Each structure stands twice: as C-alpha cells, then as structure tokens.
Copies of this chain bind each other. A is one copy, B any other.
C-alpha cells in the first residue's frame, strides 16, 4: 500500500532540481521538525550521494537501484522502500517515472 498523501506538513515552495531536472523534489517539514521530501525521478540512470542515511519509499512508478558496493540491481515499485546508508551513494535506473518519499535519518 503506498502513501498517497501526507497530512499536516509545511511544504517548501521552491523545488530542488537535480541532474538538469531528471530529479525534482519538494521539501516537507512535520510539526515535530522532521524533514522529508517528495519527489520524482524521470527516465534516466543517475547516481545519488547521501549525507544522512535515507529511506526511499516508492509511491508510484518504479525504479531499479544498486547500493554502493553491490553488484545487483534491485527493483522497487509502489509500496516498497529501500534504505541507503549515510555518506554513501546509490545508482538508480528509471524507465517510467519513479515517485518517492525520501525519509532521512
């Protein structure tokens, strides 16, 4: 079951644009100060670096991802999430738009 909506948050009106627009997200902040982002990766193969650990939750579409140090592409689709360590990176391969929530920490 994917998370279609998130209630009671503050949304940053300016988008984060990465990789010439292949990834676009908006930051959201919860009343307790927790920050997440909602975004989309368009068809592309990209490498993301992490600062804090991240949990990528797919809400629509799908991707394949490969964590740093792994040789295996794994698939993630709506309702699925995967974890990425902090100070790491992952490759992502998208053929249909991958819509996600990024949970930090």
**Copy count, this protein chain:** 2
Stretch at the interface among A5-13, A45-53, A65-73, A81-89: A5-13
Shortest distance between the CB of A98 and any CB in chain B (Å): 10
Contacts of A14-40 to chain B: CB distance below 8 A:
14-15, 17, 20-22, 24, 26, 28-29, 38-40
30 A/B residue pairs, CB under 8 Å, sorted by A: A3-B13, A4-B12, A4-B14, A5-B11, A5-B13, A6-B10, A6-B11, A6-B13, A7-B10, A8-B9, A9-B9, A9-B10, A11-B28, A11-B38, A14-B60, A15-B24, A15-B38, A15-B39, A15-B40, A15-B97, A17-B40, A17-B42, A17-B97, A21-B21, A21-B22, A21-B42, A21-B97, A24-B24, A24-B40, A26-B38
